[in-house]
Amino acid sequence: MSSTGSADWEIDRGLQARMAGGLFLVVVFPFAFAVALEWALSTIVPAVTAALTGVELDVSFAIDRRLLAAAVGIGLVAQFAVGDRLALSSVGARTLEREERPALQATVARLAQQADLPRPDVAVIETDAPNAFATGRSQGSATIVVTDGLLERLDEAELEAVLAHEIAHLKNRDVTVMTIAYLLPTLTYLVATGAYTILRTVFRSLEYLGTSHDDDARALAAVIVVVVTTTLVTIAVSALFWIGSFLLYRLLCRYREHAADRGAARLTGDPAALASALATIDEELTRTPDRDLRELDGGVEALYVAPLDFAQFTDEGDDGLLSKDLFPETHPDTAERIERLRAMQRERTVASA
């Protein structure tokens, strides 16, 4: 095994550029969303109301930019402050005390020291599905999460390689960026679900409303059309921006995995061990029921060392084509990652011959 420190760590400029661009879009997207929503509501709602009820509306919708900026700022700070804890809670991870699982803790501490990083905490998820991820607000406040299945199925060299992969994420600082970037799909999803709740409430309330006067009926119809149209437009615009932000999030995830693979190979000096670990994890995950994978997901699927291959946006028993066609995979192809790692191993073998 070889070691490295911060002095000779290879900085991935491509990863840095992508992460900087991602952070920029995290800030820009909410304002673009507000502008698009304002335009859609001010244009579509009056037109639909006039067409269906004959009532002319002279209204325009506007979102106060100062309030929006404050909300975005608060959201980013909140995501930065509690995003890692939410991630741990969502998958039921238990943070270990330092004296628990001493061999695992020692390996993590040694790899962190090699990378010139503060020692991260270690958490475990009770599941047979083998996987791991890292989360944290900063390099000094991070947690590496592993599953029981990972600890049971990998040998010592393979486990060290996976842990080195997660340490590399911390060294590259992409964990912090991904924690903040998840604000985008979360924000637009919450807006869409809130609008849907309003729409459902309106429809349920209709049965309790009634009037016999023509003017009252017309006014009531106009109110209903305005509320329903506003809600539908909000859901539609939110859905479009949710798709865009989710695409951005996934594309950021794909590139960072290659960077972490290279970092793990550099830390351990054994690319073949990570290749072997990925092959084992991938094989075991294909045997894991979708229900167990959904429980393991917890909204952090893109952070795992290996993808959870299940249909996220379809009902049980569906073939999942919608998810695969509409969104890019969260990870680069596992076979491609394995081949890259084996190529690194061949290069090392030739260089040392």
Exposed / middle / buried, residue 199 (Cβ in 10 Å: 0-12, 13-18, 19+): middle
Say if CB 160 and CB 107 are below 8 A apart. yes
Task: Please state the separation of Cα 137 from the chain's center in Å.
Answer: 15
- For the chain, the residue count is 353
* Cα–Cα separations (whole angstroms), residue 48 to 61, 135, 248: 15, 46, 33
Give the Cα-Cα-Cα angle 31, 57, 213 (nearest 5 degrees).
135
Residue in 166, 257, 284, 301 annotated catalytic? 166
The CA distance from 155 to 270, in Å, is 13
Say if CB 30 and CB 238 are below 8 A apart. no
Query: CB-side exposure of 177: number of CA atoms within 13 Å?
Result: 23
Q: Is 166 a catalytic residue?
A: yes
Say if CB 4 and CB 115 are below 8 A apart. yes
Say if CB 319 and CB 311 are below 8 A apart. yes
Instruction: Note the maximum CA span of the chain.
Output: 94
Closest CA relative to residue 282, chosen from 122, 150, 125, 157: 150
The CA distance from 289 to 199, in Å, is 35
Q: Which residues are the active-site residues? A: 166
